[in-house]
Amino acid sequence: MLAFLALAAFYENTITEELCLWYGIAMVACVLLQVVFHHIADRLQSAAGFMVFSDMRMELGAHLRRMPMGYFTEGNIGKISSVLSTDMVFIEENCMTVLADMMSYIFAEAIMLVFLFFFNIWIGLAGLAILLVILLVAKGMKKEAVIDSYTRQEQSENLTEAVLDFTEGISIIKTYNLLGEKSKELSENFRQSCETNLRFEENHAPWQRWLNMVYGLGAATIIAVAMFLNSQALLDVTFLVGIMLFVFDLFGPLKALYGQATRLTVMNSCMDRIEEVFHEKELPDDGADRIPEKSKTPEVQFKDVRFAYGDKEVLHNISFDLKRNQMIALVGPSGGGKSTIANLLTRFWDVQSGQVMIRGKDVRNVKLNDLMNHISMVFQRVYLFQDTIYNNISMGRPDATREEVMEAAKKARCYDFIMALPDGFETMVGEGGETLSGGEKQRISIARCILKDAPIVILDEATASVDADNESYIQEAINELCRGKTLLVIAHRLNTIRGADQILVIANGKIAQSGTHEELIQAGGIYKDFVTVRENSRGWNRNGTA
């Protein structure tokens, strides 16, 4: 605008030294202000995206903690990893810059259009018509780009899943000499990702060419209209020169805006995928009941419980009572539903019908925090976090004193081997506990449960995959853990279940038999067959027979 006013003054011979000085000062001031505001914007934008998505990651973590376990076992690990490592990273690195630029471009284009109407209403109308054509072409470009962007991010998810599958199964892949076959699968995903990205650019390029043609033709049209109006004495030559001065920058903001259309559409697809995860249904946690300290009702009750994974029902009308300080053992063929019963008690899933109750309170009506304070679990597959041994044990009760942590380690029979490590309790364990043996990891997990001191303990095949040297230590640790507790035990070892107050034989999602060891032996059937099999060192088959 200042340049136009200066040229107009020259043309009209009204320019003076003082006016030139003021125009020059004004132009320098504009440049300095632009630099200052650009610097301020950069300072504000540089961390804003990271701060916003830092909060969003915390929200996502909280959301995932409230999700049913089924969500994590239905092939969604790759999606979660992709959302965290790809989608959120892309948006946080681009969102503030793109949004700031977009607002700047829109504002600049609006000013340009206003100037056209200032010069001449017909030129303004011509500019508005060209703008509508640009928006029409851009709408088609955006529609196709959104589809391609979603396909691109889906392939990114597939690649993440393939990489996770390859790295997690590398030991099996090498053992069975499947490196070439599995490498081909991974390479195929890399190839598909490359092709998807190239196809995205190929589909986007023709639209950009069309837009560039419209920009050029639009500028030429504005010049032609201005020259025609000038020839008809409807436009002063000063305004003609002014139009020709900035006509080639007239659609520059729109050109820059749609030049970033790729990033905008990818960001849109990323946000859609993030919202998909956030919209996944959480386990309701709005119950107001609290588990009483004492109750005349059984410690644990299952009442006509039915449960299905998707459309496949795996538990059919399961009912049993577990009294305080008693032990129920669940035995039966693999896939019969034993672990599912334990998972329903901890509310990793919710039942389709029936009730799971602790001390007379339906677990669905109890706050998850209160529920988990009453239950400890020892899994067959132990996971330790990449942290110190001390911190891994103290997770059982974060407010425990160091002396209490040490005492829990002693009761779990892991104190001696921990102290033999170079840094003792401050020794870092690898992710998953990979630097420790299976028996050592199991004893640390038991120490964690001992420290938690929950009244109900679930043992899920806790000694199933432990070597003979560690089994005696683990059995001693379990005995310490279970003293004075109510026990739900999933086991195949006779010495573990023989002393149970009640044994439930779970087969095909039903309670096939129930009773004590002696009662079931006398009754015959699946359990007696199981004992015979164990005594002859054989195993179960999937139908519940031996």
Whole-number Å distance between alpha carbons of 275 and 288? 29
pLDDT digits (tens, 9 = 90+) for 91-100: 777 777 777 6
Helix (H, G, I), strand (E, B) or coil at 399: coil
Under 8 Å between Cβ of 141 and 200: no
> Where are the strands (E) in 428-509, listed by range?
456-460, 486-490, 502-507
pLDDT value at residue 428: 87
pLDDT value at residue 541: 45
How distant is the alpha carbon of residue 244 from its chain centre?
A: 53
Whole-number Å distance between alpha carbons of 238 and 9? 9
**Identity of residue 287:** G
Beta bridge partners of residue 353, listed in sequence order: 306
pLDDT digits (tens, 9 = 90+) for 324-357: 888 898 988 888 888 889 889 988 888 989 999 9
Under 8 Å between Cβ of 74 and 277: no
Q: Which helix (DSSP H) or strand (DSSP E) does residue 263 occupy?
A: helix 261-278
Q: Output the pTM of the full model.
A: 0.64
> Where are the strands (E) in 263-340, listed by range?
300-309, 312-322, 327-331
Half-sphere exposure of 52 (CA within 13 A, CB side): 14
pLDDT value at residue 306: 93
Whole-number Å distance between alpha carbons of 156 and 160? 6
pLDDT value at residue 172: 56
Q: Which residues lie below 8 Å from residue 159, measured CB to CB, with a gap of 6+? A: 189, 190, 192, 193
Helix (H, G, I), strand (E, B) or coil at 385: coil
Structural tokens at position 131: 């703008």
Show the 3-state SS of 493-531.
Answer: CHHHHCCCCEEEEEECCEEEEEECHHHHHHHCCHHHHHH
% helix, strand, coil for the chain, step of 5: 65, 10, 25
Per-residue pLDDT of the chain (546 residues; tens, 9 = 90+): 666 666 666 666 777 777 778 877 887 887 888 778 776 666 666 566 677 777 888 888 888 888 877 677 656 777 787 787 778 887 777 777 777 677 777 777 787 788 778 777 888 888 888 888 888 887 777 777 777 777 777 777 777 777 767 766 665 555 555 555 556 777 777 788 888 877 777 777 777 788 878 888 888 888 888 888 878 777 777 777 777 767 777 777 777 777 776 777 777 778 888 888 888 888 888 878 888 888 888 999 999 999 988 778 899 999 999 998 888 989 888 888 888 898 899 888 889 899 999 999 999 998 888 888 898 888 777 778 888 899 989 988 888 899 999 999 998 888 888 998 888 899 888 766 677 877 888 888 888 888 888 899 888 876 555 555 666 777 777 778 788 889 898 876 776 777 788 999 998 889 998 988 888 888 888 888 878 877 665 444 444 443
For the chain, domains (ranges, CATH) are 2-278 (1.20.1560.10), 299-374+488-541 (3.40.50.300)
pLDDT value at residue 542: 41
pLDDT value at residue 4: 64
CA diameter of the chain: 120
